Structure formats: structure tokens, C-alpha cells
Homo-oligomer: A and B are copies of this chain.
């Protein structure tokens, strides 16, 4: 949809762009696809000073970013995210990577883009489900860092779902700024940056056990935030009321807070392979109130299992919402 217009602009300015297209979906974040792109670059005789532009959603950004990190030990990278989720989250901060059969983003690199070009106009053509999943990451920012933003989201659900351009631009810029501030303090996930993984410990595991085919990333994160909120409540860290406000807001944006037909043991096992595991302990990002988060590595395994069981309803459907 946007490749041709971008090529035209680049050609007008004297560049010679070449296009490699990948199939939509998480399945493209594979070794096979990574290798295909490298082969293509070698055949094109792409040189070390030539840039890779990742035009697309999070999958394109992660995959093309990892290619840029590795081809000839690194070529310049431009992120041009076309989804809400990529604009507010995945295109920022230099995390790139591909998936392993046993875990998401297990192979990758920290590699910063030279430029991030996030145009809200891209969002007007997004399919509804893909648009909505982006709000999971925005609600995440609000929950972990920005109580004021949480209030705005509660008030403006209608305009935001109607893709009001002005409001959208302001919120995207606010989220990008939050993420950039955190990444500048802690590029390599040593401390502060970990709180951005709120909802992701369970979310990544859910995606892995459903083989990246059932849930969109943002949907899995929404369910993961519900799990985390239940753990926080059961651990005496979060009020029932704040947990309920989160649940209500997620649902207002059409996001799931439950999943059916998932094997709980398989999910717990998948969490053990998470990159944040230390000495076998699953580390949970939990909120202690709207706008405040921290990392907890000594959460009672029984409490975690109960929270997961409460969210994973029986039944074989697994489909969204």
C-alpha cells in the first residue's frame, strides 16, 4: 500500500530503492526469512553504506532491523512503522530479532535506527483488529508510567477508536517520548527498561504456545496485563479497583482479557524460557497503582498459577474476544 509512494519519493530525490516483500504475520520472523533477505542483499550487491528501510508493522521492523544489524556487521537502518503498535512501541528502542520455535525474539540484536518515521496517516488504512491491538501497548504505558494518560484514554475511547487524527498524533508522540526516555536511560534492558515488559511475560508465552497463530501481539499483551493485575491483587500490591479500571479500559478498546483452550502447564513452561528469567525465577512486572510499576522476582508460583488459571478459561476455541 505504501511501498510505491515511498519508492517514488526516494527516486525523486536521487535514491535507487529496491523492494523485498515478506508475507504478513509473525511466521515471517524466522531463520528462513532472515536468510532469504540476506541472500537477496548479497545478490543485489548491497553495500555497507546503503540503508535498509523497514516499512511495515512490528514484524517487518524486528526482522528488517535484525537484517540491518547483521548484514556486513551492520548497515544503516530506518524504521518506518505503519501500525499503531509499531509506532508507539516496537519501532523505538533498537530491539530487533526473530523467533525460535521455543520462544519469541530468542535471536536478535540491539540495533538503533538512524531515523524513525512514524506517520499517523498510515493508520487510517489499518484493519480494525490490527488498529485495536496497538492500544494494548498504549494502555501499558499508561499503567506503568502515566496515570494522566490513563485518564485521557478512559475519557476519549470513542474519538480514539474513530481514529481522530489530532488526538492520535498527540498520544503517539507522548508514548514515543516515554519509550525513548526509558531506552536512553537503559538501552540494554539492565533495569528500568524491564518495566516496559508489563504484560509481556505471560503474553510472549501465550504467543509461543499458540504458535503465533491465534493472538496478535497486542492481544496477548492485553491478556498478559490481566494476568499481571490478578497476580498483583493477590499479592497485596494492587487494589481490586485499579485492576478493574485496567480491565474495563482494555475491553473498551475491544481487547481480550481471557483466553480459551490454552494448556496452562505449557504456558508456564514457555515462561521459563523467557529472556527475563534469572536463576530459574520468572520475573514479573507488576503495577502497584495506575502509573507505577516494578519488577518482582519472588512472586509465589502458586499465586501466579492461580491468576493464569483464572484467565485461561477451559474450552478449545482460543479465538479472540
Q: Which residues of A contact B (CB under 8 A)?
A: 31, 35, 38-39, 42-43, 45, 47-49, 69-74, 95-97, 100, 102-103, 105-110, 188-189, 272-273, 275-279
Smallest distance from the beta carbon of A92 to chain B beta carbons, Å? 15
Complex contact B107–A70 (CB within 8 A): yes
Of the A-B pairs whose beta carbons lie under 8 Å apart in the complex, a sample of 24, sorted by A's number, is A31-B35, A38-B106, A38-B107, A39-B100, A42-B100, A42-B102, A45-B272, A45-B273, A45-B277, A47-B277, A47-B278, A48-B277, A69-B109, A70-B108, A71-B106, A71-B107, A72-B106, A73-B95, A73-B96, A73-B97, A73-B105, A73-B108, A74-B109, A74-B110
Smallest distance from the beta carbon of A99 to chain B beta carbons, Å? 11
Assembled-state Cα–Cα distance A74/B38 (Å): 21
Tell me which residues across on chain B come within 8 A of A69, comparing CB atoms: 109
Assembled-state Cα–Cα distance A267/B275 (Å): 43
Complex contact B110–A49 (CB within 8 A): no
A106: contacting residue among B42, B49, B95, B107, CB under 8 A: B42
Pick from A106, A107, A109 the residue with the most CB of B within 10 Å.
A107
Complex contact B49–A278 (CB within 8 A): yes
6 A-B pairs closest in CB distance: A73-B108, A72-B275, A42-B102, A70-B107, A48-B275, A42-B100
Complex contact A110–B73 (CB within 8 A): yes
Tell me which residues across on chain B come within 8 A of A273, comparing CB atoms: 42, 45
